[in-house]
Structure 1
Amino acid sequence: MVDIRTMPPHPAMPPHLAKPGTPVRRPRSRRLRRALAGAASIGVIMLTTAGTGNADPYAAPVPVPMLAPSTLDVRFAAERQAIEEALETAQAVGDVDRGKALGAFLQPGRRFLYFDPRGGGRAIEVVGDLARARRVAILVPGADTTLSAFDRRGAKPWSTPGGGARAVYAQARSMSPDPGLAVVAWLGYAAPKTFSSDVLTDGRASEGAERLRHFMKGLHRVNPGATVGLLCHSYGSVVCGRAALDGPGGTAWRQVTDIALYGSPGTTAWSASTLSSTARVWAGRGSTDWMEDVPHVRIFGLGLGPDPVSPEFGARVFDAGPGGHSDYLAPGSSSLRNLTDIALGRASDVAPG
């Protein structure tokens, strides 16, 4: 999701200075912020999106073999060719932003397991050795993520799937020259827009959850011995939540030992224990993340449920530092260090929040 922080509130009167019996009030700006967030959430429901009526110029995904150790190189080559063809289309139709993104995809050493240029686009990139990794981290992004924003969003490349995956991998390499980690930048679903009714429900997440679970089955065929950590940002935490709530799902899903929810609007689960009885469930939120002001409710299928960082939810809360909604994987941040430790399965090294 894009960062829509409002101005910070004025500090409230310290409780020890209030007269006895006088209730301590929230700062007016904070109350106003919450009211505006609620009003915006309701107002979003009234928005509709009109179609352009133009046919999508991009081709459908190319057929590729089932994921397996012997098919990885074939898939990487096939998807690279598909990206080259999509780049030609982008240049022909004058799609400048898409063209820049696809040109970056073709840089030497980049490897994609899946690519679909239609609409906002979908892509799954691997950073590291997927077949030999002892540990695999799957980064699931949130709203407003498209192919054009796969690597760069403003001045914060780490807030994107590709940039975030490389930030986690680089952090792991700084801890050990051979961390045994592969990171997957998983844009395997049609992410909703922040200002749309889709972002208030789990409809897009349910579709994404099915695709994520399908990918997990392929990952199990490629590397059955690796354990998995899910790094789920913003609306991506709804995707992870729906995937976990769909049930254990056999051996592939049992590879998941950690689920990290950060900048989360909710997961539709009522508690961490409901979300998973086997994986460690983590939650974190930066102190300036506007997500704090989003109402955490779920009524008649509207809303995404309890706040994952609340004590009632029961997750392991980690220190996410002072950053905002787009800063969790910023180089040098405490949130990146903690999320990398979660990605590596090093639970005892994660600093509590």
Structure 2
Amino acid sequence: MINNEYYVKINQDAQEHYQFYKQQAEALVDRREYTTSKRYDISPYWYARQGEIPGDISDEETDTYYEFDEEGRIRILACDDLIDGYTYVTYADGVITTRTYVDGELDSVKEYLTQDGLVCRSVEYFTRFNKLEYEDYIYEGNRLVEVYQPQYENNDYFVHLLRTYFEYDEQGVLLRVLDGTQGVIYVLMSSEEVFVLRESVKKGLILALKEIVGALCEKQSNKTYCFLSIYLHDEVHTVYSPIFHPGWQEVREEQIEEKDEGEDYYYMIWSSGEHPVNDQQELMDHDLIQKLRTLIMYWRSIGDWWEEGMSLWKEVAYDLNETTNWSAYSGLTKNFVVFVEWEAMDVMNGDLQESIPSAKLEVLQSEGIAPRI
């Protein structure tokens, strides 16, 4: 059981003795290390769990830095989580305590309870929200195998956060981190494994999109579709499970009738947001989604998830347009295409060319539907 009163008291103590804890930490500092962004955390496997990349050590002064004592233990964390936030660390038998202040005002107090050198529980009291959160760290030998966050019990919306699982190879190297739904958060793969998985996923996505287009055409309706947009947002989950937004030919015809001479016409005509959302689709193959998620999470761990994910989807769209006779599908226009769309897409700067082969693009250009670059 967590003793709430105890944490309220240490929170009050931290509020009342800001200068004491600040000066105590400063007096024990032996060296300072500047970094480009957050680099260290006391929580085990914090970066793998968050899907973030540790910052690099910087030769220049930066706002984010860490100060260590003579034993190499962190004593001060500066601006690594919060702007103008400073964390002061104390060490005692079986417990590490951090006190975080923003502009001198207490933000939170966190205790890491340790046993045999391993963090077995962390408890954090957030002053601003009068809220207590804690995590239990479960080990097999010295290997962390599970993190349990009981505050998410009986909450379906946060079931993915309730438990986190860790998998290792025979040498004890961390291979995968899974959330409470067994979804991949972190994965370690060789370049060969990435290549093989990417090719497999690409083939699967091509087949899945053909099935999606086919299913749209089989619907008993009078609608005709002129495109299928693969819409990507700048959030990880929208790249491994995007929205597929069909464009209605009747809407496009209205746009053509109202055509003006400005560039806005081309932006409008390739914006799925101008079309009804009635027929939006998504991937339904769970195994394929998990494979794609694994790829995206691997790319996230090396900082390339958006670029690599975008590139994969553009290849899928390009190959579909190059190899598929869309005119054989009832319910599609003769110049139907699949393309990747995102908020910053610039059709006047050639962004359609990576999704649509030149021969098909020339047809669209000749009909005044695509701009000539």
TM normalised by structure 2 equals 0.22
TM normalised by structure 1 equals 0.23
Larger radius of gyration: 2
